[in-house]
Chain A
Amino acid sequence: MNERKTDVLVVGAGPAGLSCALELARAGAGEILVLDREKKPGGVPRLCKHQGFGIRDLHRVYSGPGYAETLLKKALAAGVQVLAETTVTEWAGEKRVFVTSPRGIEAVSARAILLATGCRERPRSARLIPGYRPQGIFNTGSLQDFVHGYGKKVGTRAVIAGAELVSYSAIHTLEKGGCRVLLMATEFERDQVYFPYTPYKWWSARLHLGIPLVTNTRISNIFGKDRLSAVELENVKTGETRRVDCDTLVLTGDWIPDHEFSRLGGLEIDQGTLGPAVDGFLRTSREGVFAAGNLLRGAEPGDAAALEGRHAASSIAAYLEKGGWPKERVKVLARDPLLWVLPNFLEPGSHVLPRGRFLFRVKEFVRGGRLSVTQGGKALFEKRFSFLGPNDSRSVGGSWARDVRPGEAVSFSLE
């Protein structure tokens, strides 16, 4: 078996992985190898034909493919090695992995590893939607691949489940694929697209195409033996159902980190994010292994993932230089109705955080709330919010984190 050695191995060539690699190469951190299992590197943006990428990291507006290509070019120019069609399959030692590619099976050892394997949308099965299993059911990801990747038509009349940012992007993809959108359905009382993205929503759904949004509603049954023929919509408040004839269903959002490789490595998984638990330096529970991007907690905009990748780069550079892994870490807990808080650990005395802040999400709408952070009985931080909504990440500054002491967990709660 071929043995390969490198200073840093990056698993996943999406915005997070490529940005980290680029930053490390620029800092002269040694040999940087990025592996991606897809035929082309670049991650999810490769298939997002619309504009809206790169604003906060590259300070320009790119289309998804343009953004992916730019990141890749920059990384290659800086001396990063990027190999596509190369799947990281198994752990083969502390900082050694097996990979499969058309070249054969190789073992790759590194001094540090970044996991940036992204996330995906839950399929129909994981949402426990009963019914038949016909053709015509997509996630936004597979839909993009059919329409943008292969130029295929998908159907003629679609229902979109979900009303968050990605759901509105599905409208455009369906339109490209020759498919009319009949309606969007969300289990919540309203859509989940908030300032500053509201104009995008209006443009996408109402003004542009006149698509109705059905609220408090979920998909409760699927009909059609070969091809989808109809879905049943259920009002989650009243239990009332109705049938809508359609031949295409797009299940959007409901993200889950692609944590398989993290779990296989025995990395601690945070129960809120379902990604590998990380501290402010994006260090996981396993020495020398870092994580960044959507793997950490599901989908954020590409530039947010890229900035996390950069942040991981500075932590990795420091680790390569000085070594060391924190022995004592304090757990960060998210109390109901908070869904998760990132990072999931803190090193006492340090307030280094990705993008200088804590990121969090709530499960439900909260109108007029106070976020408070405590450790033991001690209040560390407080902030008022007039409005918080699900399927949207919010952030708070974290300079107060330097007051965190060893021992008890730090708890985020909302009142």
Chain B
Amino acid sequence: MEPYDLAVVGGGVVGCAVAREASKYELSCALLEAKADVGAGTSKANTAIWHTGFDAKTGTLEQRLLARSYMLLLDYVPDRGIPHEKTGAVLIAWNEDQLASLEGIVEKAHANGVADVRLLSVEEVYELEPHVNRDALGGVMVPGESIICPFTVPLSYAYEAVMNGARLYREFPVGKIEEDGGVHVLSGPGGEVKARFVVNAAGLNSDVIDGMFGFDRFHVTPRRGELIVFDKLSRPLVNHVLLPVPTERTKGVLVSPTVFGNIMVGPTAEDLEDKEATCTSKAGLEYLWAKGEAIVSKLMKEEVTCTYAGLRAATEFKDYQVFSHPEKRYLCLGGIRSTGLSASLGIAEYAMELLAEAGLSLEEKKEFRKVRMPYIGQKEKRPYQSEEKIREDPDFGRVVCHCERVTLGEIRRALRSPVPPGTLEGLKRRTRCMQGRCQGFYCSADVAHVFQTEAQKEDHPGEASHE
């Protein structure tokens, strides 16, 4: 088999963005993902904030790419129908020290080019957020910080990459990379793929892949972030993303609405050794509970819908670990720690620049096929609310998952998407089914049944992606 021009290792939000960017050009591209689905690593378990980068360290690569990505996403997100809400963020100071640091935060934001960030009086804080506890001292408004669907973003990239010719290999953990006369041979239990150029977007394993090219320059320490998601009925309690004053080490615990209409509290920040320890902990949940209690105590009377944990690919360095090696035809996109969702398009664009410099020839394709993603957020109309949709196909009027109002039509459509879900988990991320307050009490058996029977039918994959 002809070697690919490019192989991207890792199908998280970063790898998918790179594969999509590459699929704009006349070249062959393979996206290699260890798991059964794209976006199933850290990219599925984050806080889902669409960052402006107002608080990033000025002058770092992270800050630059965040700023660029923000602008790119402003077009991309609404155009593809990715669920998002322009909520804005309110950063709140709860003690005198924090209050004293607010001006510095505003200055830094301005230095980062986020010009609309401004101080808020305590009265303004309460006007914007009437339900937060009464001991706030002041705040900062960050109008551009928004919330976004963490599941739809990588899926949208992956769908477009595949629709435009990229080849996705799932359950393909790369275990070895060898050079063979100008081509890299990437192999593992999933088989073997050859490629001239390799991009390392392996997230938590970006150091391991880097090692396969003979480097030993950064080490990923998984930094766990746990989160608690509250029932949708609590949504009226919080209007903006509520940010704490950040510390050197983390952005701290925030309270934020989600695009699905929940409120979440998190994340924690705890360094671990196990790169697969995506479990929640008693201490973590208790810590978050106390934090939530200290910010919006009313929230803690509501029901919890879900708890989860994600692992940031933290390294001994603060910035992204991006290295291009033209002589090895290798690009490393490592240590994309806590802003990768927001920076993804910026990273992908920059990656193509670096690859071009390294000698990958980029000739733009005449046509690029765009996707329109199924809307799974709360703010706009969903199929169960649309007469036209139901008239078109009565299955859009058959609610299967009651808490999230996911219809049979949506499940069918997801199973026929350009990247059909390989597992029930993947179906959840594409449709929201079983992600609601009952967590499957009512629908898990029905959904499992539909998944089994429908997946066997194997209609024409790819047909349902254009709404």
The answer to whether A and B assemble together is yes
Binding site for B on A (CB under 8 A): 1, 37, 85, 87, 89, 100-105, 120-126, 128, 130-133, 138-139, 141-142, 145-146, 149-150, 152, 220-223, 225, 256, 260, 263
A121-B441, A123-B440, A126-B303 known, 20 other contacts, Cβ within 8 Å: A87-B405, A89-B384, A100-B384, A100-B390, A100-B405, A104-B397, A105-B385, A105-B387, A126-B305, A126-B439, A130-B280, A130-B281, A131-B280, A133-B279, A145-B442, A149-B445, A150-B448, A260-B233, A260-B403, A263-B233
Q: Are B445 and A142 in contact (CB under 8 A)?
A: yes
Q: Report the minimum CB–CB distance from B262 to chain A (whole Å).
A: 12
Residues of A close to B449: CB separation below 8 A = 150
Contact check, B307 vs A125: say whether CB atoms are below 8 A apart. Answer: yes
Q: What residues of chain A lie closer than 8 Å to B441, measured between beta carbons?
A: 120-121, 123, 139, 141-142
The smallest C-beta distance from B307 to any residue of chain A, in angstroms, reads 5
Q: B425-467 toward A: CB 8 Å interface, digit per residue (1/0)? A: 0000000000001111110111011000000000000000000
- Name A102's closest neighbour in chain B (CB-CB): B394
Instruction: Tell whether B120 is near chain A: CB-to-CB under 8 Å.
Output: no
Contact of A104 among B304, B391, B444 (CB under 8 A): B391
> Can you give 28 A-B contacts (C-beta < 8 A)?
A1-B387, A37-B402, A87-B384, A87-B399, A89-B384, A100-B390, A101-B398, A102-B394, A103-B394, A104-B390, A105-B385, A120-B438, A123-B437, A123-B440, A123-B441, A125-B305, A125-B439, A126-B305, A130-B280, A130-B281, A131-B279, A132-B278, A133-B278, A133-B279, A141-B441, A145-B442, A221-B282, A222-B279
Chain B residue nearest in CB terms to A98: B385
Judge whether B276 is part of the interface by a CB distance below 8 angstroms: yes
Contacts across chains A and B counted by CB atoms under 8 Å: 112
Query: Considering the chains assembled together, what is the distance between the CA atoms of A152 and B444 in angstroms?
Result: 12
Contacting residue for A130 out of B307, B386, B442, CB 8 A: B307
Interface: B213 (CB within 8 A): no
Question: Provided the pairs A37-B402, A87-B399, A104-B390 are in contact, do residues A126 and B304 lie with their beta carbons within 8 angstroms?
Answer: yes
Least Cβ–Cβ distance between B396 and chain A, in angstroms: 8
Contact of A105 among B276, B390, B395, B442 (CB under 8 A): B390
Q: Does B285 contact A (CB under 8 A)?
A: yes
A residues less than 8 Å from B289 (CB atoms): 128
Nearest B-chain residue to A132, judged by Cβ: B279
Cβ of B94 < 8 Å from any Cβ of A? no
Chain B residues in 8 Å Cβ range of A120: 438, 441-442
The distance in angstroms between the C-alpha atoms of A256 and B439, with both chains bound, is 13
Q: Which residue of B lies closest to A139 (CB)?
A: B441
What is the CA–CA distance of A145 and B434 in the complex, to the nearest angstrom? 14
Min Cβ gap B388→A in Å is 9
A102 and B407 alpha carbons, distance in the complex (Å): 10
The reply to whether B306 and A130 form a contact with Cβ atoms under 8 Å apart is no
A100 to B394, CA, bound (A): 10
Interface residues of B in 204-224 (CB under 8 A from A): none
Q: Which of A105, A130, A145 contacts B444 (CB 8 A)?
A: A145
Nearest residue, chain B, Cβ from A117: B402
- When chains A and B are docked, how far (Å) is the Cα of A105 from the Cα of B390? 8
Decide if B284 is an interface residue (CB 8 Å cutoff): yes
Tell me whether A225 and B280 are in contact (CB under 8 A): no
Bound state CA distance, A146 and B308, in angstroms? 25
**Given that A104-B387, A130-B282, A260-B233 are known contacts, is A150 also in contact with B445, CB under 8 Å in the complex?**
yes
Instruction: Give B283-315 as 1s and 0s: 1 = Cβ < 8 Å from A's Cβ atoms.
Output: 011000100000000000001111110000000
Residues of B within 8 A of A1 (CB): 387
List residues of chain B with CB within 8 A of the CB of A256: 303
| In the complex, chain B residues whose CB is within 8 Å of the CB of A223 | 279
Alpha-carbon distance between A128 and B280 when the two chains are bound, in angstroms: 9
B439–A123 contact, CB under 8 A? yes
Binding site for A on B (CB under 8 A): 229, 233, 276, 278-282, 284-285, 289, 303-308, 384-387, 390-391, 394-395, 397-399, 402-403, 405, 437-442, 444-446, 448-449
Complex partner residue of B279 from A37, A130, A139, A260, CB under 8 angstroms? A130
For the complex, give the distance between the alpha carbons of A130 and B226 in Å. 10
The residue on B at minimum CB distance from A134 is B279
Contact residues in A for B280 (Cβ distance below 8 Å):
130-131
* Set of chain B residues within 8 Å of A225, measured between Cβ atoms: 276
Give every chain A residue within 8 A of B445 (Cβ-Cβ): 142, 145-146, 149-150, 152
CA distance A101 to B279 in the complex (A): 38
Which residues on B sit within 8 Å (CB–CB) of A122?
303
Chain A residues positioned under 8 Å from B308 (CB to CB): 133
Per the bound structure, the CA–CA distance linking A103 and B399 in Å amounts to 12
Assembled-state Cα–Cα distance A67/B243 (Å): 53
Q: Are the C-beta atoms of A100 and B303 separated by less than 8 Å?
A: no
Q: What chain A residues lie within 8 Å of B397 (beta carbons)?
A: 85, 100-105
Given A100-B385, A103-B394, decide whether A142 and B440 contact each other with a Cβ distance below 8 A: yes
A47 nearest CB neighbor, chain B only: B445
Assess the B402–A128 pair: CB atoms within 8 A.
no
Task: Please give, as numbers and ranges, the residues of chain A lying within 8 Å of B405 by CB-CB distance.
Answer: 87, 89, 100
Residue in contact with A85 in the complex, picked from B281, B305, B307, B398, CB distance below 8 Å: B398
Specify the chain A residue showing the minimal Cβ separation from B424. Answer: A135
Report the Cα distance A290→B246, complex, angstroms.
49
Q: How far is the CA of A314 from the CA of B215 in the complex (A)?
A: 80
B302 CB to closest chain A CB, in angstroms?
10
CB-CB under 8 A from A102, the residues of chain B are 390, 394-395, 397-398
Chain B residue at minimum C-beta to C-beta distance from A271: B301
Complex: A142 Cα to B442 Cα, angstroms: 6
Q: Min CB distance, A276 to chain B, in Å? A: 13
Shortest beta-carbon distance from B104 to chain A in Å: 37
Q: How far is the CA of A310 from the CA of B152 in the complex (A)?
A: 47
A87 close to B444 (CB less than 8 A): no
In the complex, the answer to whether B448 meets A146 with C-beta atoms within 8 Å is yes
Q: Which chain B residues lie closer than 8 Å to A37 at the CB level?
A: 399, 402
> Of all chain B residues, which has the CB nearest A274?
B303
CA A1 to CA B398, docked complex, whole Å: 17
Task: Give every chain A residue within 8 A of B442 (Cβ-Cβ).
Answer: 120, 141-142, 145
Q: Which residue on chain A has the smallest CB distance to residue B282?
A: A130
Task: Give Cα A225–Cα B276 distance, bound, in whole angstroms.
Answer: 9
Write the chain A residue with the least CB distance to B232.
A260
Q: What is the bound-complex CA distance between A131 and B384, given in angstroms?
A: 34
Complex interface: chain B residues within 8 A of A101 (CB) = 397-398
Contact (Cβ within 8 A) B448 A89:
no
Chain A residue with Cβ nearest B303: A126
A145 to B398, CA, bound (A): 18
Chain A nearest Cβ from B275, distance in angstroms: 12
Contact indicator B304/A125 (Cβ below 8 Å)? yes
* A241 smallest CB distance to B (angstroms): 11
| Chain A residues with CB below 8 A from B395, complex form | 102
**Those 9 A-B pairs whose CB atoms lie nearest each other, nearest first:** A123-B439, A145-B445, A102-B394, A102-B397, A130-B280, A132-B279, A146-B445, A126-B304, A120-B441
Report the minimum CB–CB distance from A128 to chain B (whole Å). 5
A132 to B229 CA separation, bound complex (whole angstroms) = 16
CB of A128 within 8 A of CB of B285, answer yes
Residues on B with C-beta less than 8 A from A142 are 440-442, 444-445
Least CB distance, A356 to chain B, in whole angstroms: 33
Given the complex, which residues of A lie within 8 Å of B233, measured CB to CB?
260, 263
How far, in Å, is A126 (CB) from chain B's closest CB?
Answer: 5
Asked if residues A100 and B305 are in contact (CB atoms below 8 Å), the reply is: no
Closest Cβ–Cβ distance, residue A120 to chain B (whole Å): 5
Question: How far does the alpha carbon of A124 sit from the alpha carbon of B308 in the complex, in Å?
Answer: 12
